[in-house]
Structure 1
Amino acid sequence: MPQPLVEVSAVSKTYTIKADGAKPRGTLKALNNVSFTMDKPERIALIGPSGSGKSTLLRSIGGLLIDDASSGDIKVMGQAIQSKGRLAGNVRQARMNLGMIAQQFNLVGRLSLFTNAALGHLGKVNGLRGFFGLWSKDEKMAVMRALDHVGVASKANQRANTLSGGQQQRGAIARAIVQDAKVILADEPVASLDPVTARKVMELLVKVNTEDKVGVIVTLHQVDYAKRYCDRILALKDGVIVYDGPAGGLSGDKLKDIYGEEIEDAYWEGAVS
């Protein structure tokens, strides 16, 4: 049986609440005994009201949280990201299977789109060669294929900070393709985009998932986008998974229970039904 792409086992995360320059004022349990498995390349949406723990969960899977108290285990492609609440010793190796896409794109603005996408090679090449951007012919061709795959090959030589938000987000996805990531973690990837561009970016994530067989885990505030573009939904409330199932199985009554007064704000293109 193939190993799961992602395994999250009994993960909890507690933050210390501090006032500016003052002693700690208490704690906040952002995740409470969360477990799930991605057995195959699918599209999982993490949804829930503000403060539900969805971004904390995504960042924990990416091995990006090291402070405060944690417990539980996380593996990607069988390699440990977190073990008993602590970052694994080989976390950098495990992260090579993860492509990260953020709300603010995380491209280097003064560099060309080509160079930003080529940074996906860094984990696979000699450090000195990567530092100076001495890419081989095959590596350059891989970058251009990725940019073409996401529809921005014509922008390869433009500086990233001259591109639209949608073009920059496509460049970030191209970088993950160059990296040969097996799972893409996308944290609110459409929050900074207009609805038309947001739909195009979500459609691109669907394309990468279906054509390249890459798993996608995406946090979304827009419930309608989660139901439209994802196979499976994990809904969190107060740090606990309260729904884990097919997108079509999440009823309006359940959503109202999850979101409470925030329910109308959770829809971009229409009211909850």
Structure 2
Amino acid sequence: MPDAAVLSIRNVSKTFGQRRALDGVSLNATKGEMIALIGPSGSGKSTLLRSISALQTIDAGPGEIVAFDGPVQKDGKIDGNVRKTRTRIGMIFQQFNLVGRLSLFTNVALGSLGRINFWQAAFGLWPTETKQAAMAALHRFGVAEYATQRANTLSGGQQQRGAIARALVQKAKIILADEPVASLDPVSARRVMEILRELNKQDGLTVLVTLHQVDYALRYCDRVVALKAGKIVYDGPATGLKREQLIDIYGPEFEDVFWEGAPT
């Protein structure tokens, strides 16, 4: 792994049946980067995040994923010691992945599971540090007043802020956000993107976020990685991504939905 990298992906492929979802993908992420992963549906964005978090295996072969100098997976096998590495990687999902019947506070406190005894959590015997961290995160993201409310009674934006708070309690150093605003209204979506940007800039967290909204990628992320048919077709500054490249990535129909102020 390069000295400055906290995440290194080398020659990673993933095949589902006859479809190659990832095709020899290589990517490094350094501490404090905020990287947007863009591309059409089926381009491999979510597959890449799920592979980084060891939620799925990559194909056997030369592919390798390393985080914080700890192996995540290699040659189609997840490393036996990956649990320690995963405690430093927070995953944010499109559908929030909160336990609906539990309170928002409990969902956020569950971020500490990698550091406390399972039975403490099962009986709600949270250490003082966890209680304080959970409430501080809820306050920070403006949802502390809903701490005792069941998660499934909250709006999508409130649940997503709870999911991000859980990653903060987890003490994650890398945030993987898979379409975190796809299910949200525009106001809630902007708030979630602002929170991710804040964690990146103020807390120094490395953030990889998959987005269908290209304008959000250009507005909030300094670096953009574009995938098409499982391959990286652009990796560089957001300011360097031009209209003709976006049309090549998404197809000629992209021109019809271009927004005001798009790159030229």
- In the superposition, the TM-score normalised over structure 1's length comes to 0.91
Corresponding residue for residue 4 of structure 1: 5
What are structure 2's unaligned runs of at least 5 residues? Answer: none
User: Which runs of structure 2 are paired with 1:61-210 in the superposition (5 Å)?
Assistant: 61-66=52-57, 71-210=62-201
1:202-241, Cα deviation, whole Å (9 max, x unpaired): 0010011111111110110110010001110000111110
Contact 1:221 1:266 in 2 (8 A): no
Counterpart position of 1:248: 239
* Unaligned runs of at least 5 residues, structure 1: 17-26
In structure 2, distance between residues paired with 1:187 and 1:265: 25
Aligned residues between the structures: 263
| 2:98 and 2:107 in contact (8 A); partners too | yes
Contact 1:169 1:201 (C-alpha < 8 Å) held by counterparts: yes
Cross-structure match for 1:24: none
* CA distance in 1: counterparts of 2:180 and 2:24, whole angstroms: 26
Q: Is the 8 A contact 1:14 1:69 kept in 2?
A: no
CA contact (8 A) 1:75 1:82 kept: yes
Q: Equivalents in 2 of 1:185, 1:55: separation in Å? A: 10
- Give the counterpart of 1:230 among 203, 209, 221: 221
Q: Is the 8 A contact 1:70 1:86 kept in 2?
A: no
Match of 1:21 in 2: none
Q: Which amino acid aligns with 1:44?
A: I
Instruction: Kindly report the root-mean-square deviation, in angstroms, between the aligned alpha carbons of the 2 structures.
Output: 1.9
The one-letter code of the counterpart of 2:223 is R
Question: In the alignment, what sits opposite 1:14?
Answer: 15
1:230 maps to a residue whose letter is: C
Give how far 1:84 is off. Answer: 2.1
Identity across aligned pairs (percent)?
61
**Cα deviation, residue 108, structure 1:** 0.7
Q: Is the 8 A contact 2:12 2:58 kept in 1?
A: no
Task: Give how far 1:66 is off.
Answer: 3.1
1:20 corresponding residue in structure 2: none
In the alignment, is the contact (CA less than 8 A) between 2:60 and 2:75 conserved in 1? no
